[in-house]
Amino acid sequence: MDFAYSPKVEDLRQRLAAFMETRVLPANRRWHALAEAGTYPLEVIEPLKDQAKAEGLWNLFLPGLKPGEPGTRLTNLEYAPLAEIMGRLPWASEVFNCSAPDTGNMEILHLFGTPEQRELWLDPLMNGDIRSVVSITEPDVASSDPTNLQTEIRRDGDHYVINGRKWFNTGALHPLAKVLIVLGVSNFAPDAARHERHSFVLVPMDAPGFEVVRNVPIMNHHSPEGHCEVVFRNVRVPVANLLGEENKGFAIAQARLGPGRIHHCMRTIGQCELALELMAARALERKVFGKAIADYANNQDAIAECRLEIDQARLLCLRTAWAMDTFGNQSARVDVSAIKIIAARMQTRVLDRAMQVFGAMGLSNDTPLAYLWTWGRALRFIDGPDEVHLRVVARDEIAKAKARTGTLDPYFTPPDAHP
Amino acid sequence: MDFAYSPKVEDLRQRLAAFMETRVLPANRRWHALAEAGTYPLEVIEPLKDQAKAEGLWNLFLPGLKPGEPGTRLTNLEYAPLAEIMGRLPWASEVFNCSAPDTGNMEILHLFGTPEQRELWLDPLMNGDIRSVVSITEPDVASSDPTNLQTEIRRDGDHYVINGRKWFNTGALHPLAKVLIVLGVSNFAPDAARHERHSFVLVPMDAPGFEVVRNVPIMNHHSPEGHCEVVFRNVRVPVANLLGEENKGFAIAQARLGPGRIHHCMRTIGQCELALELMAARALERKVFGKAIADYANNQDAIAECRLEIDQARLLCLRTAWAMDTFGNQSARVDVSAIKIIAARMQTRVLDRAMQVFGAMGLSNDTPLAYLWTWGRALRFIDGPDEVHLRVVARDEIAKAKARTGTLDPYFTPPDAHP
Amino acid sequence: MDFAYSPKVEDLRQRLAAFMETRVLPANRRWHALAEAGTYPLEVIEPLKDQAKAEGLWNLFLPGLKPGEPGTRLTNLEYAPLAEIMGRLPWASEVFNCSAPDTGNMEILHLFGTPEQRELWLDPLMNGDIRSVVSITEPDVASSDPTNLQTEIRRDGDHYVINGRKWFNTGALHPLAKVLIVLGVSNFAPDAARHERHSFVLVPMDAPGFEVVRNVPIMNHHSPEGHCEVVFRNVRVPVANLLGEENKGFAIAQARLGPGRIHHCMRTIGQCELALELMAARALERKVFGKAIADYANNQDAIAECRLEIDQARLLCLRTAWAMDTFGNQSARVDVSAIKIIAARMQTRVLDRAMQVFGAMGLSNDTPLAYLWTWGRALRFIDGPDEVHLRVVARDEIAKAKARTGTLDPYFTPPDAHP
Amino acid sequence: MDFAYSPKVEDLRQRLAAFMETRVLPANRRWHALAEAGTYPLEVIEPLKDQAKAEGLWNLFLPGLKPGEPGTRLTNLEYAPLAEIMGRLPWASEVFNCSAPDTGNMEILHLFGTPEQRELWLDPLMNGDIRSVVSITEPDVASSDPTNLQTEIRRDGDHYVINGRKWFNTGALHPLAKVLIVLGVSNFAPDAARHERHSFVLVPMDAPGFEVVRNVPIMNHHSPEGHCEVVFRNVRVPVANLLGEENKGFAIAQARLGPGRIHHCMRTIGQCELALELMAARALERKVFGKAIADYANNQDAIAECRLEIDQARLLCLRTAWAMDTFGNQSARVDVSAIKIIAARMQTRVLDRAMQVFGAMGLSNDTPLAYLWTWGRALRFIDGPDEVHLRVVARDEIAKAKARTGTLDPYFTPPDAHP
What CATH number does the domain containing D82 carry? 1.10.540.10
Answer yes or no: is pLDDT of A413 > 90. Answer: no
DSSP-derived letter for residue A189 is -
Q: Within this chain, do residues A150 and A172 fall inside the same structural domain, yes or no? A: yes
Residue A89 located in a structural domain: yes
Residue B340 located in a structural domain: yes
What pLDDT was estimated at residue D260? 85
With bands split at pLDDT 50, 70 and 90, how would you rate the model's confidence at D150? very high
Q: Name the amino acid, one letter, at C389.
A: H
Tens-place pLDDT, residues D326-375:
999 889 999 999 999 999 999 999 999 999 999 999 999 999 999 999 99
Asked if the Cβ–Cβ distance from C398 to B283 is below 8 Å, we say yes
Cis peptide before A7 (omega within 30 of 0): no
Q: Within this chain, do residues A142 and A73 fall inside the same structural domain, yes or no? A: no
Cα separation, A59 vs A99, in Å, equals 9
Where helices occur in C162-296 by DSSP H, the ranges are 249-285
The helix/strand/coil state of B221 is strand
Angle between helix axes D297-327 and C386-403 (nearest 10 degrees) is: 130
What pLDDT was estimated at residue B409? 92
Question: Among B228, B243, B258, where does a domain finish?
Answer: B243
Neighbours of chain A (3+ CB pairs under 8 A): B, C, D
Residue C157: which region, alpha, beta or left (left: phi > 0; alpha: psi -120 to 50)? left
Cα separation, A367 vs A370, in Å, equals 7
Chain D residues whose beta carbon lies within 8 Å of the beta carbon of residue B168: none
The CA-based angle C314-B347-D352, given to 5 degrees, is: 60
Answer yes or no: is pLDDT of A418 > 50. Answer: no
Nearest CA in chain C to A214: C415
Cα separation, C369 vs C352, in Å, equals 8
Chain C residues whose beta carbon lies within 8 Å of the beta carbon of residue D369: none
Are the C-beta atoms of A35 and A41 separated by less than 8 Å?
yes
DSSP-derived letter for residue B333 is H
DSSP-derived letter for residue B27 is G
Are the C-beta atoms of B123 and B132 separated by less than 8 Å?
no
What pLDDT was estimated at residue C415? 61
Are the C-beta atoms of C333 and C256 separated by less than 8 Å?
no
Task: Give D79's contacts (C-beta < 8 A, 6+ positions apart).
Answer: D60, D61, D63, D263, D266, D321
What pLDDT was estimated at residue D93? 97
Cα separation, C154 vs A333, in Å, equals 54
C271 CB near a chain A CB, below 8 Å? no
Cα separation, C103 vs C60, in Å, equals 10
CA atoms within 13 A on the CB side of D27: 22
Q: Name the amino acid, one letter, at C134.
A: V
Q: How far is C60 from chain A (nearest CA, A)?
A: 38
Are the C-beta atoms of A106 and A71 separated by less than 8 Å?
no
Answer yes or no: is pLDDT of B162 > 90. Answer: yes
Among A270-284, B128-142, B203-217, C400-414, the least confident range: C400-414
Cα separation, C17 vs A69, in Å, equals 83
Residue D384 located in a structural domain: yes
Nearest CA in chain B to D228: B415
Q: Which of C86, C134, C92, C79 has the alpha carbon at shortest distance from C325?
A: C79
Looking at the partner chain, which of A214, A298, A415 has a beta carbon nearest the beta carbon of C213? A415
What pLDDT was estimated at residue A416? 54
Asked if the Cβ–Cβ distance from A303 to D398 is below 8 Å, we say yes
Q: Within this chain, do residues B228 and B262 fall inside the same structural domain, yes or no? A: no
Q: How far is B168 from chain A (nearest CA, A)?
A: 8
Chain D residues whose beta carbon lies within 8 Å of the beta carbon of residue A300: 390-391, 394-395, 398
Rg over CA atoms, chain A = 23
Average pLDDT over residues A248-255: 89
Answer yes or no: is pLDDT of D416 > 80. Answer: no
**Mean pLDDT over all residues of chain B?**
94
Looking at the partner chain, which of A141, A143, A380 has a beta carbon nearest the beta carbon of B356? A380
Chain B residues whose beta carbon lies within 8 Å of the beta carbon of residue C4: 1-2
Question: Among C113, C142, C171, where does a domain finish?
Answer: C113
Nearest CA in chain A to D319: A315
Tens-place pLDDT, residues C349-369:
999 999 999 999 999 999 999
Interface subset of C 197-216, CB within 8 angstroms of D: 216
Q: Within this chain, do residues C260 and C234 fall inside the same structural domain, yes or no? A: no
With bands split at pLDDT 50, 70 and 90, how would you rate the model's confidence at C402? very high
Tens-place pLDDT, residues B35-56:
989 999 999 999 999 999 999 9
Asked if the Cβ–Cβ distance from B213 to D297 is below 8 Å, we say no
Q: How far is A292 from chain B (nearest CA, A)?
A: 10
Asked if the Cβ–Cβ distance from C220 to D216 is below 8 Å, we say no
Nearest CA in chain A to C301: A298
Residue A123 located in a structural domain: no
Distance from the first to the final alpha carbon of chain D: 48
User: Buried b vs exposed e over D368-394: b needs ≥16 C-beta within 10 Å?
Assistant: bbbbbbbbbbbbbbbbbbbbbbbbbbb
Rg over CA atoms, chain D = 23
Chain C residues whose beta carbon lies within 8 Å of the beta carbon of residue B270: none
Answer yes or no: is pLDDT of A419 > 50. Answer: no
Pair type for strands A287-288 and A198-204: unpaired
Residue C416 located in a structural domain: no
Average pLDDT over residues D281-309: 96
Q: Give the CA-trace dihedral at A356, A359, A362, A365, to 10 degrees.
A: 170
Maximum alpha-carbon separation in chain A: 83
C274 CB near a chain B CB, below 8 Å? yes
Are the C-beta atoms of B184 and B230 separated by less than 8 Å?
no
Q: Within this chain, do residues D109 and D137 fall inside the same structural domain, yes or no? A: no
C417 CB near a chain B CB, below 8 Å? yes
B157 CB near a chain C CB, below 8 Å? no
With bands split at pLDDT 50, 70 and 90, how would you rate the model's confidence at D418? very low
D313 CB near a chain A CB, below 8 Å? yes
User: Buried b vs exposed e over B175-186: b needs ≥16 C-beta within 10 Å?
Assistant: ebbbbbbbbbbb
Pair type for strands B152-156 and D152-156: unpaired
Are the C-beta atoms of B378 and A363 separated by less than 8 Å?
yes
Cis peptide before A190 (omega within 30 of 0): no
Are the C-beta atoms of B162 and B182 separated by less than 8 Å?
yes
Element (H, E) at C116: helix C115-117
Chain D residues whose beta carbon lies within 8 Å of the beta carbon of residue B296: 297
Cα separation, A377 vs A363, in Å, equals 15
Residue A119 located in a structural domain: no
The helix/strand/coil state of C210 is strand
Average pLDDT over residues B219-235: 95
Answer yes or no: is pLDDT of A95 > 70. Answer: yes
Q: What is the CATH number of the domain that holds C263?
A: 1.20.140.10
Nearest CA in chain C to A230: C415
Distances (CA, A) of D287 to A397, C390, D350, D357: 18, 18, 21, 11
Share of chain D above pLDDT 90, in %: 87
Chain C residues whose beta carbon lies within 8 Å of the beta carbon of residue B271: none
What pLDDT was estimated at residue A415? 60
The helix/strand/coil state of C407 is coil
Are the C-beta atoms of D380 and D345 separated by less than 8 Å?
yes
Long-range contacts of B249-252 (CB under 8 A, 24+ apart): B249/B183, B249/B184, B249/B186, B249/B198, B249/B199, B249/B200, B250/B146, B250/B195, B250/B196, B250/B198, B252/B108, B252/B111, B252/B112, B252/B200
D399 CB near a chain C CB, below 8 Å? no
Q: What is the DSSP string of A279-310?
A: HHHHHHH-EETTEEGGGSHHHHHHHHHHHHHH
Tens-place pLDDT, residues D3-62:
999 999 999 999 999 999 999 999 999 999 999 899 999 999 999 999 999 999 999 988
Beta bridge partners of B177: B131
Looking at the partner chain, which of B213, B298, B418 has a beta carbon nearest the beta carbon of D297? B298
Q: Within this chain, do residues A24 and A89 fall inside the same structural domain, yes or no? A: yes
The CA-based angle B386-B389-B395, given to 5 degrees, is: 135
Nearest 5°: phi and psi at A126?
-65, -25
- 3-state SS string over chain D? CECCCCHHHHHHHHHHHHHHHHHHHHHHHHHHHHHHCCCCCHHHHHHHHHHHHHCCCCCCCCCCCCCCCCCCCCCHHHHHHHHHHHHCCCCHHHHHCCCCCHHHHHHHHHHHCCHHHHHHHHHHHHCCCCEEEEECCCCCCCCCCHHHCCCEEEEECCEEEEEEEEEEEECCCCCCEEEEEEEEECCCCCCCCCCCCEEEEEEECCCCCEEEEEECCECCECCCCCEEEEEEEEEEEEHHHEECCCCCHHHHHHHHHHHHHHHHHHHHHHHHHHHHHHHHHHHHHCEECCEEHHHCHHHHHHHHHHHHHHHHHHHHHHHHHHHHHHHCCCCCHHHHHHHHHHHHHHHHHHHHHHHHHHHHHHHCCCCCHHHHHHHHHHHCCCCCCHHHHHHHHHHHHHHHHHHCCCCCHHHCCCHHHCC
Looking at the partner chain, which of A277, A319, A412 has a beta carbon nearest the beta carbon of D366? A412
Q: Within this chain, do residues A88 and A139 fall inside the same structural domain, yes or no? A: no
* B-C contacts at Cβ under 8 angstroms: 207
Tens-place pLDDT, residues C62-88:
877 777 788 888 999 999 999 999 999
Q: How far is A297 from chain C (nearest CA, A)?
A: 5
Average pLDDT over residues D108-122: 95
Q: Within this chain, do residues D192 and D272 fall inside the same structural domain, yes or no? A: no
Chain C residues whose beta carbon lies within 8 Å of the beta carbon of residue A213: 415
Q: Within this chain, do residues B204 and B165 fall inside the same structural domain, yes or no? A: yes
Task: Give A46's contacts (C-beta < 8 A, 6+ positions apart).
Answer: none
Residue C347 located in a structural domain: yes
What pLDDT was estimated at residue D419? 39
Interface subset of C 327-386, CB within 8 angstroms of B: 338, 341-342, 365-368
Q: Within this chain, do residues A266 and A352 fall inside the same structural domain, yes or no? A: yes
Average pLDDT over residues C397-407: 93
* C-D contacts at Cβ under 8 angstroms: 117
Residue A375 domain boundaries: 250-403
Question: Among D226, D243, D260, where does a domain finish?
Answer: D243
Q: What is the CATH number of the domain that holds D190?
A: 2.40.110.10
Chain A residues whose beta carbon lies within 8 Å of the beta carbon of residue D305: 390
Q: How many domains does chain C have?
A: 3
Answer yes or no: is pLDDT of D417 > 50. Answer: no
Q: Within this chain, do residues A167 and A223 fall inside the same structural domain, yes or no? A: yes
With bands split at pLDDT 50, 70 and 90, how would you rate the model's confidence at A356? very high
Asked if the Cβ–Cβ distance from B364 to A217 is below 8 Å, we say yes
Looking at the partner chain, which of D294, D365, D408 has a beta carbon nearest the beta carbon of A398? D294
What pLDDT was estimated at residue D295? 97
Residue B200 located in a structural domain: yes
What pLDDT was estimated at residue A255? 80
Interface subset of D 98-137, CB within 8 angstroms of A: none
Q: Within this chain, do residues C399 and C281 fall inside the same structural domain, yes or no? A: yes
Looking at the partner chain, which of A338, A391, A402 has a beta carbon nearest the beta carbon of D308? A338
Distances (CA, A) of C245 to A385, C133, C239: 50, 20, 11
Where helices occur in A20-101 by DSSP H, the ranges are 28-36, 42-54, 76-87
Task: Give D135's contacts (C-beta < 8 A, 6+ positions apart).
Answer: D166, D169, D180, D181, D182, D183, D203, D230
Nearest 5°: phi and psi at A277?
-60, -45
Beta bridge partners of A198: A185
The CA-based angle D193-D195-D196, given to 5 degrees, is: 65
